[in-house]
Each structure stands twice: as structure tokens, then as C-alpha cells.
Structure 1
Amino acid sequence: MLKSRASRAALSTACAALLLATSACGSDKPEEAAATQVRLYGTDGNMQNSYVDELKDRADLLNGMKGTTPLTPLPESFKDRLRTVDPKLKDYLYSAETYDAIVISVLAAQLAGTTEPREIAQQIVGVTTSGQQCDEVATCLQLARAGQDIEYRGVSLTRAGFTDVGEPAAASYATLHFGDRQLDDGKTEFVGAGDESGASTKAPPKGKKSRPAKSYKEDGSPLVLGGLLPKTGDLALAYPPMAAGAALAIREINAAGGALGEPVVWNEGDDGTDPKVAKATVASHVQQGAHVIIGAGASGISRAVLPDVVAAGRILFSPSNTDAGLSTVDDKGLYFRTAPPDGLQGRALADVIMRDGPHKIAIVARKDSYGEGLQENVRSELERAGMGADKVKLLSYVPPEGASAPPVDFSAGAKEIKDYGADAVLVIGFGESARVITALADAGVQIRH
């Protein structure tokens, strides 16, 4: 029987509405609901171009992944200077923080008028607060040599100085997006976090005016800095920008006359993203007379070596530690960092996730102080934003110990996430966390691109 166009449209609409509940439209089986697509999120440990290499021929899995990292808009002039150190550089994460950690350490030594670590430590916070503001190495060193109280505003430290415990009071975070196997810089957004009023108001000891170079030599200079950066291990993907930032800082400091009448000495060192490797490096630096140790890369590694550094009376100054618990660690006033604590990143990351409107989220973290600390920060921020506790699932994995250890096996966790029905997965880890993403795909989790 012929039907009018209107009648056919009405029947079509009715059939669509009844499709899953009845066979009246010509089928006796309900159509299966489409599989839930999962959006991936990351953090500072894996939102880098070099992370793509960890997935090799499966790098397409990253397309669409987004996350946050401590990052301020970097001047092109700074990037250009970094590339004179490493022309192949493709990431800039923590390059500015490494550069600033070294510059602050040197300025503090110049103001202290000595290489004695405890006296340098007493100047570090004050270098970043309530003095004559300066943002170029040569200018800042000139002021420090005159004994002038300075307020250093560097590449990463732009909004406020350090708190009383020696970390940034405020920070800038970037929201990054993977697309076509690399970070899409055109989609990067920046947001501020923290409270500028939290910067220290304590006055540092009065700076000492520069003396003749000969007198410094009699005191046992030059100033020696030792690197404790992740040249190898799970965090090795972050090493190139950090190494470039360190090399650039030393080059520009020494081009401006160095500190205490002599060029600053830089001794490289690997933390291996491994406590045993890092402890051996610290011992070597102490034996070679390092006054300030720049590192470690991972928060858990800094926790492991800090007792050794403090016992030796040296300074540990990290450009990349974000574990919030380090703000209250017993450091005898010898631990500092230019990276902001994860209490700030947790808030920024939760905001990014909530804007996408997830119904259920799984947070997967490497089992250490960084991973579990940030996991808890994000969880509490999500719940504060209105996400019920039953809608957030926490999982962790043990990172491999040493280069010969087998890779992460997350197959059971991936199945658990699939059965849970998450539509968002946050992966908190370093290079090894690529195995979490491939395990999700292998378990049949539909990753949204």
C-alpha cells in the first residue's frame, strides 16, 4: 500500500524511538549500545613530545590526549638560546625551571659572599622577594656584587617569589593537547594558580659586597654545582630540556663574570630515576666538593637522597619536584624547588577534566610519592567540584626498578577499567606509563581521538 511522505516520516520516527525496545520495525533483536569512548589525560611526566617515542608504532593512541604541566609562556628568545645548546630540542618542559634554579643558587652565593652551603641557603628565598627587581643574569649579578637586595624574576618565576619553605608561591600551568603524534601548540592554554601573597616577607641576611677575586680564592672557591638530573631511567624523556636549561644558565652566568670572582663549575650527574643511582651520584658530588646539587628529577628520588644531602651539609635544589609532601619535609633549610607543588596542579587538572563532563573517571598512578600524591590531589579536587566518590576509581602500578627490570604489566588494571565503564582515564607517570595506554587499547577500551 502506498503511503504519503508524511506518513512514511512518522513511521520512521516511531521506529527509531522503539528500536531498542521492540521488534516491530522489522528486527527481533535490540541494537547493541555503542561502546563507551574513553578520553585520555596526562600530567607533566608524560605530556611531552618525547613521550610519543615510548609508544613507537602505536603513537596514534595519543591523538586526542590532553593534560596539564607547570609551564609559563616561554619567550621565543629563550627557546632560541636553548636551541643553540641543543639544536635537536623538541620539548621545553622544566628547561626554564632548571635555568632559574641555577641562576638563583649563583645569585644567593654571590650575596652570601661565600660558597658555604648553609649561608647560601639563607639567601635563596630572599633572592626572589622584595628587592630591586631584575630579570637578566648579567644585571642581577651586577646588583648582587654590589650587595644589593634583589628580586629575581626569571623565565619560570614570573608571578611571585618563593614561600618561606623555598618554593614558588604562584605558578602558571599549561593545558596541552596531543594531535597527529605530537603536541599541538596551537591549542595550548595557560592558567595561573596559587596565591602571590604567599611569598615570603622575611628579610634575608644583608648581602655582602664583592671582594677582589684573590681573596675569594683564598677562601676555597670556585662555586661548584652538581647535576642530579634524569639522564637515564623512566624520566629520561624529560632530560634534554633540563640539560639544555642547565648548560645555558652556566654559559650565561660565566659570560657575565661568574660568581665570587671565578667561573662557576658545573659537574654533570645522573639520578637514573633510581634511588641507588642517585645516591651514588650524590656521594660523588660531595667528594668532588659540590656546594649545590641541582635535582633530582623525580620527587621520590629527591626524598630518597635528601637525608644524604642534608647530612653532608649541601643544598638540594630541584627544578621538577612537584610532590606536595616535600613542602613539609625535614630538610634543615637545605631543600628548594622552582617547580610548584602538586596541590596547585591537582586543581588545574581537575578543572580541565571537569570541563569535558565525564561520568566516571579512573586515575592511574605510578606507585611513588609523585604519582600517589598527585592522584590524591586530583581525586579531592574532583570531589570538591561535585564528582561523587563512587564515580572516581583509583589504581596504581609499581614502576620498574632499574634498566633491566621487566616493563609495566597493566593488563589486569586495564580490564578493571573497562569493566568499571570509565569514560575518562588520567595517567600519572613517566615514560613507563606508555604501557598503561597500550594495555587499555589491548583490553578493548575504546580510546577517544
Structure 2
Amino acid sequence: MLRTRTSRAALSTACAALLLATSACGSDEPKDATTTQVRLYGTDGNMLNSYAASLKDRADLLNGMKGTTPLTPLPESFKERLRNVDPKLTDYLYSAESYDAVVISALAAQLAGTTAPAEIAKQIVGVTTGGQRCDEVAACLQLARAGQDIEYRGVSLTRAGFTDTGEPATASYGTLHFDNEKIDDAKTEFVGAGEDSGASSKAPPRGRKVRDGKAKDAPLVLGGLLPKTGDLALAYPPMAAAAALALAEVNAAGGVLGEPVKWVDGDDGTNPAVAKATVASHVAQGVQVIIGAGASGISRAVLPDVVAAGRILFSPSNTDAGLSTVDDKGLYFRTAPPDSLQGRALADVMLRDGPRKIVILARKDSYGEGLQENVRAELEKAGVGADRLKLLTYLPPEDPNTPVDFGGLAQEIKGFGPEAVLLIGFGESMPAITALADAGVQITR
């Protein structure tokens, strides 16, 4: 191999010397004069096997793409239990967070001794901090029925508990790699973020031991507000399977407040209008805790309705850092970590490859623009000058069946001449990759 490389270098030098006098070494024009080479990077909304499957005969464009997603090493036993619920699962994105959101809600209601949302909300942070540690649903419920303060450690919540604002103080991120048109699990790396000291130190209200084990206002009713349809529908199967698994295991362990927990299905449509209609229906049906929404922007849209109705909104997948300070009257929680943590992990992944010019293309909503800003800030801290960064956004379609036209953006990206393109989006972002290729941008495999 070394000999071959040397001979090629010598030939290249000879050709360069003769270039002004002759075209014997090839065309007078550089072969790749109109081609821009870039590395592709993605985030939790597009680093999915189902994302590649949706690209069909052009899925090979993803080979070599890297990205991050909130992800903890999942026990094989947990994956097997999920596959028992849905044998067709190919991804596990936000499955751990969905499972934990349902379990924490159930434990909080049991400790509160009531299904009143305001009382459940007072227990949610405390379920994850201080108290006696437990990591099995049945054992945790047994302690809660006895009024014992507990510190739940689940599938996603493994290091520290919630902050005072009701979100994980620490997180684990997976660095994912597309290879052979799918996520190569063998290449997945895990990195931690956040500080244990960020977890709340406030003591929750004393747990209430319910007389005869049954509460007058039982059963606890949970309502789904997950993306069955819309731009984020690719992520629905693992979230739905995990919520169903948690519900089954809670009820197999005796339920909450003496009754099986009930589930009312619901779609957020990755659309504010659809989500608002689902919330109104849940309120009418007596749902106390709403599990969702899938996208941060959808949660922002429905949160005022949820708060006005005095219900709890508990998302397994919202990452918009701005939701940490939203006016929620203490009724909004999430098991997904904020993008202020993911921004650091993603910037680190990109910087390892050493790109000097980077485009960050994001959907124009609180998730996309929020994560874009976090990554930009981290890259600039690391020494990537503002003149070497280009921030672009696109409006996601109101109708998911209407594709976004990325042609103009692809040409703009090509004109900037980046070495890396970070794509922050959901299922609607797929045409951006094909548009780049069609514009003559060579994607590094």
C-alpha cells in the first residue's frame, strides 16, 4: 500500500508540472470543481433506523452520518420486554424516558394518596430524590403504599434525580453512526452530561398511606399525547410501546390507590391544532396526567390549556431548553434532558472530525432553533469563528404530506462551501439530504 501511495503522489506532482503546457494528464478543468464535500450530522429527530427506511432507494446517502440523541445503555431485558409489546420495533428512541414518565406519575399519585393533579405534581420531583432507593416497579409501589419516601431509579433516570423545575439533572447521550443504511449499534458511544449536584434537595410532602389501600377518587387516568401522526411519527413506536409496558407492569404490581391505572390514547399529530383537540378530549374524559407531547413546540402550544384545566403535562421527549423556565404553575415535567446539555455533546462529536466551516440547518420552531443556538454557542466557545458558521432555518409544513422544498437552501449551503452540515429536524427533513446530493454536494460516506 505504501508503494502505491508513493507512485500516485509522484504522478500527481508530474501532472501538476506539466499542467500549463499540456492536458495529457486529463481535463484542463479540475474534476471536482463543482462539487462540495461535506460530512452529515443529525440529532434525536433523525438518527433513527426508520429515518433511513423512509429514504428508500437513496438511504445510502446516510452512510457515514453521525449524531447524538438522549440515550442510556438499555438493558437487553428492557428491549425484550418492549419487543413483547411491539415485535416490529427497530428503534428505542425515548423508550426509556416514556417508561419512566409513566412509572414516576404512578408512584407520585400513590404517595399523594389521591388522583388530584395538583397533589400528584407536588410529589413528582420528590419521587426521584432522597428517600429509599428502588428500581423495580413492584418494590417502589410497595414502599409508596406504605407512605415511604422513595428515590426512584429507572431505565433513563440512572444517576441523579430531577431538578427543582422537574427535569433530569444529568443525562446520558449516545453518539450514533449510520452504516450500511442503518444505525450501527457496535459504533454507539455513550457520554454523560450534567451534574449530580443539580438535583433538587427539597423534601417532598409526607407520603399518605391510604386507608384500606383504596382512594375515593381512584382510578388514576393517564392520557397519551404522543406523535402517532405528523413529522415526528417516526419516533412514535418505541414511545408507545414503552408507555404500554410501564402501564402493564404498574397494574401487574397492583395498580395505584387500589385500582388499575387507566390509559386514554391520544395523538399530538406534531401539530398544535391536533394536540389542542386531544387535550380538550382528555380533560373531558377526566385524565389527570397527560404523557406528552412529543415535540417541544407542541408542548409549548398546549401547556396553557393544560395548566388552565389544572392537569399535569409530563413529556418523555421535550428537549427545548426554554421549557425549563416556562410559566407552568408547577404542572410541567419531563424525563428528557434539555438541549443545553445535548448542545455540548453534539458540538463535541462534530469537533472531533475537525470541520472548519459548518452549516446548521434547523426546523423553525422552539426545538430546532433552540438546539441550533445551543450548538452554535458551544462551537464558538471551542474556537469556531462566527464567520465560519452559517445558521439556516426552514418552516415545517402544516400538512405532513406536503414536502418541504429544500432546493434553494441546498444551493445556499453549496455556495457557502461547508465541510459539515448539521441537520436538526424530524421526518420532514429527509428531502434536505437528497436536495444536497442533487445540488452537487458530495456527502462524505
State whether TM-score is above 0.5. yes
Q: Deviations along 1:183-231, whole A, 9 cap, x unmatched?
A: 00010000000111100000000011132145x1xx2210000000000
Q: Do 1:228 and 1:268's aligned partners in 2 also have CA atoms closer than 8 Å?
A: yes
Matched residue pairs, number? 437
Further displaced range: 293-302 or 435-444: 435-444
> Of residues 419, 433, 438 in structure 2, which corresponds to 1:442?
438
Shift in CA distance, 9/150, structure 1 to aligned 2, threshold 3 Å:
closer
> Of residues 342, 347, 355 in structure 2, which corresponds to 1:345?
342
Match of 2:416 in 1: 420
Match of 1:38 in 2: 38
Match of 2:49 in 1: 49
RMSD of aligned Cα (Å)? 1.8
Q: Distance in 2 between matches of 1:202 and 1:28?
A: 73
Shift in CA distance, 344/13, structure 1 to aligned 2, threshold 3 Å:
closer
Q: What SS class does the counterpart of residue 151 from structure 1 fall into?
A: strand
Q: Distance in 1 between matches of 2:273 and 2:280?
A: 11
Match of 1:316 in 2: 313
Shift in CA distance, 272/12, structure 1 to aligned 2, threshold 3 Å:
closer
Alignment of 1:23 with 2:21, yes or no, is: yes
Q: Distance in 1 between matches of 2:18 and 2:217?
A: 85
Highest Rg: 1 or 2? 1
Q: Distance in 1 between matches of 2:289 and 2:391?
A: 38
Structure 1 residue 384 displacement after superposition:
0.6
Q: Do 1:104 and 1:127's aligned partners in 2 also have CA atoms closer than 8 Å?
A: yes
Structure 1 residue 319 displacement after superposition:
0.1
Shift in CA distance, 18/131, structure 1 to aligned 2, threshold 3 Å:
farther
Match of 1:208 in 2: 208
Alignment of 1:221 with 2:218, yes or no, is: yes
Q: Distance in 2 between matches of 1:442 and 1:268?
A: 41
Alignment of 1:259 with 2:248, yes or no, is: no
> Of residues 346, 353, 365 in structure 2, which corresponds to 1:356?
353
Shift in CA distance, 258/444, structure 1 to aligned 2, threshold 3 Å:
same
Question: Which portions of structure 1, spanning 4 or more consecutive aligned residues, are displaced by more than 6 angstroms?
Answer: 8-11
Q: Distance in 1 between matches of 2:364 and 2:176?
A: 24
1:7-406 to 2 correspondences below 5 Å: 15-16=14-15, 18=17, 22-23=20-21, 32=30, 34=32, 35-214=35-214, 216=215, 219-404=216-401, 406=402
Q: Do 1:362 and 1:417's aligned partners in 2 also have CA atoms closer than 8 Å?
A: yes
Q: Distance in 2 between matches of 1:323 and 1:378?
A: 13
Structure 1 residue 18 displacement after superposition:
3.2
**Please, which runs of 5 or more residues in structure 1 have no aligned partner?**
1-7
Further displaced range: 310-319 or 418-427: 418-427
Q: Do 1:123 and 1:204's aligned partners in 2 also have CA atoms closer than 8 Å?
A: yes
Q: What SS class does the counterpart of residue 160 from structure 2 fall into?
A: coil
Q: Distance in 2 between matches of 1:57 and 1:24?
A: 42
Q: Distance in 2 between matches of 1:206 and 1:393?
A: 52
Q: Distance in 2 between matches of 1:10 and 1:383?
A: 36
Structure 1 residue 59 displacement after superposition:
0.8
Q: Distance in 1 between matches of 2:94 and 2:235?
A: 8
Structure 1 residue 25 displacement after superposition:
8.6
Identity %: 76
> Of residues 416, 419, 429 in structure 1, which corresponds to 2:425?
429
Shift in CA distance, 418/291, structure 1 to aligned 2, threshold 3 Å:
same
Structure 1 residue 32 displacement after superposition:
1.3
Q: What SS class does the counterpart of residue 279 from structure 2 fall into?
A: helix
* Amino acid paired to 1:247: A
Q: Distance in 2 between matches of 1:74 and 1:312?
A: 36
Q: Distance in 2 between matches of 1:188 and 1:10?
A: 36
Q: Distance in 1 between matches of 2:212 and 2:122?
A: 23
Q: What SS class does the counterpart of residue 50 from structure 1 fall into?
A: helix
* Amino acid paired to 2:330: G
Q: What SS class does the counterpart of residue 126 from structure 1 fall into?
A: helix
Q: Distance in 2 between matches of 1:272 and 1:233?
A: 5
**Please, which runs of 5 or more residues in structure 2 have no aligned partner?**
1-6
Q: What SS class does the counterpart of residue 249 from structure 1 fall into?
A: helix
Shift in CA distance, 276/58, structure 1 to aligned 2, threshold 3 Å:
same
Structure 1 residue 402 displacement after superposition:
2.7
Match of 1:5 in 2: none
Shift in CA distance, 254/396, structure 1 to aligned 2, threshold 3 Å:
same
Q: What SS class does the counterpart of residue 23 from structure 1 fall into?
A: coil
Q: Do 1:101 and 1:294's aligned partners in 2 also have CA atoms closer than 8 Å?
A: yes
Q: Deviations along 1:369-412, whole A, 9 cap, x unmatched?
A: 000000010011011111010111011111011345x2100100
Structure 1 residue 301 displacement after superposition:
0.1
Q: Distance in 1 between matches of 2:342 and 2:79?
A: 24
Q: Do 1:19 and 1:31's aligned partners in 2 also have CA atoms closer than 8 Å?
A: no
Structure 1 residue 36 displacement after superposition:
3.5
Q: What SS class does the counterpart of residue 52 from structure 1 fall into?
A: helix
* Amino acid paired to 1:80: E
TM-score for both structures, normalised by structure 1: 0.94
Structure 1 residue 57 displacement after superposition:
1.6
Q: Distance in 2 between matches of 1:363 and 1:69?
A: 16
TM-score for both structures, normalised by structure 2: 0.95
Q: Distance in 2 between matches of 1:327 and 1:10?
A: 56
Shift in CA distance, 93/30, structure 1 to aligned 2, threshold 3 Å:
same
* Amino acid paired to 2:318: N
Structure 1 residue 277 displacement after superposition:
0.3
Structure 1 residue 17 displacement after superposition:
5.4
Match of 2:3 in 1: none
